Structure 1
Amino acid sequence: MTAPSVRPIRSVRRRVDGVLLLDKPSGLSSNAALQRAKRLFAAEKAGHTGTLDPLASGLLPLCLGDATKFAQSLLDAEKAYVATVHFGVATTTGDAEGEIVDEKPVAFSRADLEAVLPSFIGRIAQVPPRYAALKYQGRNYYEYARAGVEIPRVAREVDIHALEILEWVPPTAVLGVACGKGTYVRVLAEDLGAALGSCAHLAALVRTRTGPFALEQAVTLDVLEQMNPAERDALLLPVDAPLVGMPRLDVDAARARALEYGQEAAAPGQAPGRYRCYAVGGRFLGVVEAAGGVLCAVRLARTDGTAPA
């Protein structure tokens, strides 16, 4: 008689809402780090707020459960990095993981490097790298690169808010970079090399800040694994944490009820714009928009049970 097959036991997922500030290690993809954290919390739903390449380490905010609704604010937020740039060597990928494709002398000084930095601060045009997750005709850039196929890569405008030298030990510079969404720091490294008559690649990258959150607040996966569930849950920031930079608006019970039912709520004299909205007692409702003297819900937080009667 054939023995009955045994189905594998599926792990039980639970509702868990909040933001985890994770210190991602180098050598692990952002998605792999996300999945490990998601398993540790047994979370039903989770997402990260801005990819870090496997080579890079540092702050990776993770949104669990209802916090995923408000992750866009962190995706759009300014980010800060410590970037190690190796001048004189270019690679296929623009970072230390690629094969060397060019070598040039490093015949410039720290003063020369300082002199070119201002031209990279502000809104600049940046051509995305060949190895990127951007799409062209339905496929990722990196798929074409791996196949040896050249595709048009159109320059995009990105914002560099700050760029400074933290350390200079030729042929390597450690730079502090603060930038906006969509900036490729490895392309910045390559462009700096070209501007100095040499070449360069990104040797290491650490994200130190995302919006209001700093790396010093983050926890590693190794530490998380040593904690019990209650200790891990205590690390979670509230669902509205990604919205801390958005103006706050408190509403009374009647307006809160209307918004939760998807109805407009009167807001005479309220300045136009988006707000993180709270009901009486500080209960977070979600994001609302004021226009023409009324409030409309843009995205609401999940409520327990049914909407209020």
Structure 2
Amino acid sequence: MSRPRKKKGRPISGWLVLDKPVGMGSTEAVSKVKWLFQAEKAGHAGTLDPLASGMLPIALGDATKTVPYVQDGAKIYRFTVAWGEERTTDDLEGPVTKTSEKRPSEAEVRAVMPNYTGVIMQTPPQFSAIKIAGERAYDLAREGETVDIPAREVEIARFDIVELATDSTTFEIECGKGTYVRSLARDMGRDLGCYGYISMLRRSAVDPFTADDFVTVAELEAARGEPGEGPIDFTAIDAYLVDTSAALDCLPQVAVSDDTASKIRLGNPVIVRGRDAPVEADEACVTARGRLVAIGAIEQGMFKPKRVFAG
């Protein structure tokens, strides 16, 4: 009988809210953070293109079980649309495919903005991570194929103009999961008859995290320090982690005793009591002494764990 593989790294858990720099891919950022923390496991919530900067929430250890809740959170983007060109990638990376001498006035821009506010149908860019017949759209696009990507429903709660220039306009939006800012630039440019692409994109928030939680790669490297001859002291870098439970602010939370927490961690259903404990909930989380114990459902006052977390 083969022995089970020993996990490499530390069993550290929590969220790291990285201020990703331009030029670094999301996968590269996760690998860098995983190495800096020497973590067993890591993942991210919501990809950022290499040419985009800003908030990339990275989950370590047990926090990876809460990634879907952060992916579903509202996001805030600030971006600049350069008018007069359309590009294959809808950003600076791709070659120009169409040009126009026209530049929209402020009144023209404001007139089309309501078309992109609220619940709208949006077609993702050709260069996107959408899967078409099991393959990523960007892989097919790089091979020269033009694929038919179906439009899908997205929601933009807020759409504001931040700055106006002759050849560009800078906007800020608050939007839901699955919104492609590059598609906004492409579609608005076509509607305005002048074409457009993203020349700057920055994500400033992913609910429940804000810019106050930002940490840069340089700050992490300084906190970890240079490897010496002895064991690494992770105290300073670990202080940048946000508790795993922060990702679950959207769920009802129930506090339980240590004994009850032990039963839940073994997969047992328990009766939850307390003035604020819900009788029914499709999803809820249980904590003990402020530490996350489990996510599960509550049926007739009985909590049934679905995902449990180490103590």
> Is TM-score (shorter-chain normalized) higher than 0.5?
yes
1:111-155 Cα distance to aligned partner (Å, 9 max, x none): 211121111111111111111111111211112111122222110
Is 2:244 aligned against 1:239?
yes
Letter aligned with residue 190 of structure 1: R
Pairing 1:55-66 to 2, within 5 Å after superposition: 55-66=51-62
Q: CA RMSD in A?
A: 1.8
Take 1:199 and 1:119, find their aligned partners in 2: how far apart are those partners?
16
Take 1:30 and 1:257, find their aligned partners in 2: how far apart are those partners?
36
Pairing 1:180-199 to 2, within 5 Å after superposition: 180-199=176-195
1:225, CA displacement in angstroms?
A: 1.0
Take 1:244 and 1:256, find their aligned partners in 2: how far apart are those partners?
19
1:267, CA displacement in angstroms?
A: 4.4
Counterpart in the other structure of 2:134:
138
Take 1:21 and 1:75, find their aligned partners in 2: how far apart are those partners?
13
Take 2:238 and 2:268, find their aligned partners in 1: how far apart are those partners?
34
Take 2:192 and 2:291, find their aligned partners in 1: how far apart are those partners?
54
Q: Is the Cα contact below 8 Å between 1:131 and 1:141 reproduced in 2? A: yes
Is 2:280 aligned against 1:271?
yes
Please point out which of 35, 40, 54 is paired with 2:31. Answer: 35
Is 2:296 aligned against 1:288?
yes
1:83-126 Cα distance to aligned partner (Å, 9 max, x none): 11111110010001110111113342112111211111111111
Pairing 1:60-209 to 2, within 5 Å after superposition: 60-209=56-205
Q: Is the Cα contact below 8 Å between 1:18 and 1:67 reproduced in 2? A: yes
Take 1:257 and 1:234, find their aligned partners in 2: how far apart are those partners?
27
Letter aligned with residue 56 of structure 1: A
Take 2:143 and 2:42, find their aligned partners in 1: how far apart are those partners?
33
268-277 or 191-200, which moves further after superposition? 268-277
Tell me the SS of whatever aligns to 1:173.
strand
1:258, CA displacement in angstroms?
A: 3.5
Distance verdict in 2 for CA 1:27–1:253, change over 3 Å: closer
Take 1:55 and 1:283, find their aligned partners in 2: how far apart are those partners?
37
Q: Is the Cα contact below 8 Å between 1:272 and 1:292 reproduced in 2? A: no
Take 1:143 and 1:33, find their aligned partners in 2: how far apart are those partners?
21
Distance verdict in 2 for CA 1:37–1:254, change over 3 Å: closer
1:257-308 Cα distance to aligned partner (Å, 9 max, x none): 44222222234861323222113x33321212112332111211123xxxxx
Tell me the SS of whatever aligns to 1:213.
coil
1:164, CA displacement in angstroms?
A: 0.6
Letter aligned with residue 120 of structure 2: I
Counterpart in the other structure of 1:223:
219
Take 2:284 and 2:89, find their aligned partners in 1: how far apart are those partners?
41
Tell me the SS of whatever aligns to 2:34.
helix
Pairing 1:5-24 to 2, within 5 Å after superposition: 13-24=9-20
- TM-score, reference length from structure 1: 0.90
Aligned-residue sequence identity (percent) comes to 37
Take 2:167 and 2:182, find their aligned partners in 1: how far apart are those partners?
16
1:195, CA displacement in angstroms?
A: 1.6
1:253, CA displacement in angstroms?
A: 4.9
Q: Is the Cα contact below 8 Å between 2:84 and 2:103 reproduced in 1? A: no
Counterpart in the other structure of 1:307:
none
Q: Is the Cα contact below 8 Å between 1:21 and 1:59 reproduced in 2? A: yes
Instruction: Give the paired residue count.
Output: 292
Take 2:85 and 2:192, find their aligned partners in 1: how far apart are those partners?
13
Tell me the SS of whatever aligns to 1:227.
helix
215-224 or 155-164, which moves further after superposition? 215-224
Tell me the SS of whatever aligns to 1:70.
helix
